[in-house]
Amino acid sequence: MLDERKRQVLQAIIDDYISTAEPIGSRTIARKYGLGVSPATIRNEMSDLEALGFLEQPHASAGRIPSAKGYRFYVDCLMGPQQVSDSDTVLINQWFDQKVRRIDEAFQETVRVLSRVTQNVSLLLAPQAAACKFKYLQFLPFDETRVVVVIVTETGVMENRLMKIPEGTSTEELQRIAGAMNHWLSGLALPEIQTSLLEQIKDEVLPRPELLESAMALIREATSGASSGEKVYLGGTTQLLNQPEFRDVSKVRQLLSMLEEEQLLYDILHTQDGSGVIVTIGQENKCQGIQDCSVIQASFRLDGQTVGTLAVLGPTRMEYARTMAAIEFMQKHMEQILKKYQR
C-alpha cells in the first residue's frame, strides 16, 4: 500500500507530532530522522502522503500534521507494540494492595492510575450489577422501623441500603424472608429476577408480601438504578489542561460539560463489546462533540462474560502505543481483581 520510505516518513511525522504538537516540515524530518535523503525528497513524499489523505496542512505554508486516516494507518500498521515496564507493574500492584479494600475502590483507583499514566481523561464502566449474579441478601437490624439490606453479588459488588419495614415485623420473619429469597434467587443474574419469580416465593412469605415487595424494589434499583449498577467512574479531567489542544479555556469547558452528562459516557463506553483493545479516532466516534478526540477502550470479562469497560479519552494526537499498553495492562489487572473478589 505504501512503500517503505513513505511509511518511514509518515511514522516520523506522526511520532514527532505526537510529542511536539507542532506541524512538522521537511527539513525537520531530514535532520532529526536519518532517512538519508534531502528535504526536497521528503517534500515530495509528503506531498504524495497528503494527496493520499494521510497528512494535512493547517495552512498553505506550514508543515504537515497527521489526518485521522494517518493516525488510523499508524495504529494499524506502523506503530510498534509497547509494554508496561516490570517496575511499573510492581508499583501498581503495591499501590492496589495498599489502597484497595472494596471493589468499588478498585474501580476508583484504576481510573486514577490510568489517567496518571496516560496523561489523559479516563473512564470506567463498572461491573454492571445487571450482569452480576445474585449471591445472597441479608437484613441487618437498624432500629424499630428500618433495617439495613445488604446484597452481595458474585463479583463482590455490595449494595447496602436503609429500608423501611412494616411495623411490628419480627427478626424471625425477616430471616425467613431472606432465607426464602436466597434459596430461590441465588446464582441468578439480577435482571432475571423479575416478577415472574415473585410468584414462586410468594407462598413462603405470605404474611408479609409488602416486605418481599420492598426487597424486590431494592434489587430492581440495584439493577437499573442511577446510583448503582452501571456506575461510570471518571478521572483525570484536569489532565486535559496539560494538553496543548486545550490551551483555550472554552474548549476545555465544552468537553468537560459534555463529560458531565452521564448519558454520553455510557454512549462512549457502550459502543462495543468485542474483545481486545479498540481504538476510535476522531470522526470515527459516533458521539457528537468528541470528534476531535480519540478513545481507546477495552472491556474486561469475568467467566467469559463482559462485565465492564475501561477507556482513555484524549486528543487525536495521543500516544497510542503507550496508551494501548496501559489499557491492556489495566484490563488484565481488573480481571484479576474481579476474580479475587469473586470467590
Partner DNA sequence: GTTAGCACTCTACTTCATAGAGTGCTAACA
Partner DNA sequence: TGTTAGCACTCTATGAAGTAGAGTGCTAAC
31 residue type, one letter: R
Burial 270-294 (b: 16+ CB within 10 A, else e): ebbeeeebbbbbbeebeeeebeebb
User: How many residues in the shown chain lie near a second copy by CB under 8 A?
Assistant: 34
Which of DNA, a second copy, none does residue 64 bind to, with CB < 5 to 8 Å depending on kind? DNA
Closer to DNA at the Cβ: 29 or 268? 29
Which of a second copy, DNA, none does residue 270 bind to, with CB < 5 to 8 Å depending on kind? none
**Burial, 248: exposed, middle or buried (Cβ in 10 Å; 0-12, 13-18, 19+)?**
exposed
Please give the backbone phi and psi of residue 315, each rounded to the nearest 5 degrees, phi first.
-60, 155
- Smallest gap from Cβ 119 to DNA, in A, equals 24
Closer to DNA at the Cβ: 62 or 217? 62
Q: Does 263 bind a second copy (CB under 8 A)?
A: no
Residues 285 and 293 sit within 8 Å (Cβ to Cβ): yes
Q: Quick one: which segment of 59-67, 88-96, 236-244, 294-302 binds a second copy (CB under 8 A)?
A: 236-244
- Smallest gap from Cβ 123 to a second copy, in A, equals 16
> Which residues 164-193 are close enough to bind a second copy by CB under 8 A?
none
x/- site string to DNA, residues 63 to 102, per CB under 7 A?
Answer: xx--------------------------------------
User: How many residues in the shown chain lie near DNA by CB under 7 A?
Assistant: 25
> Which residues 281-340 are close enough to bind a second copy by CB under 8 A?
none
Residue 134: all three cell numbers together: 445474585
Which residue from 16, 21, 52, 19 is spatially nearest to 35, judged by alpha carbons? 16
The CA-based angle 61-62-65, given to 5 degrees, is: 140
Among the residues of the chain, which ranges form H helices? 4-20, 26-32, 39-51, 68-73, 86-99, 103-118, 171-185, 195-202, 209-224, 249-259, 262-270, 320-342
- Smallest gap from Cβ 315 to DNA, in A, equals 17
Q: Does 116 bind a second copy (CB under 8 A)?
A: no
Tell me which residues touch a second copy (CB under 8 A). 99, 101-102, 105, 138, 140, 142-143, 148, 150, 152, 156, 158, 160-162, 221, 226-227, 237-238, 241-242, 246-249, 252-253, 256-257, 260, 341, 343
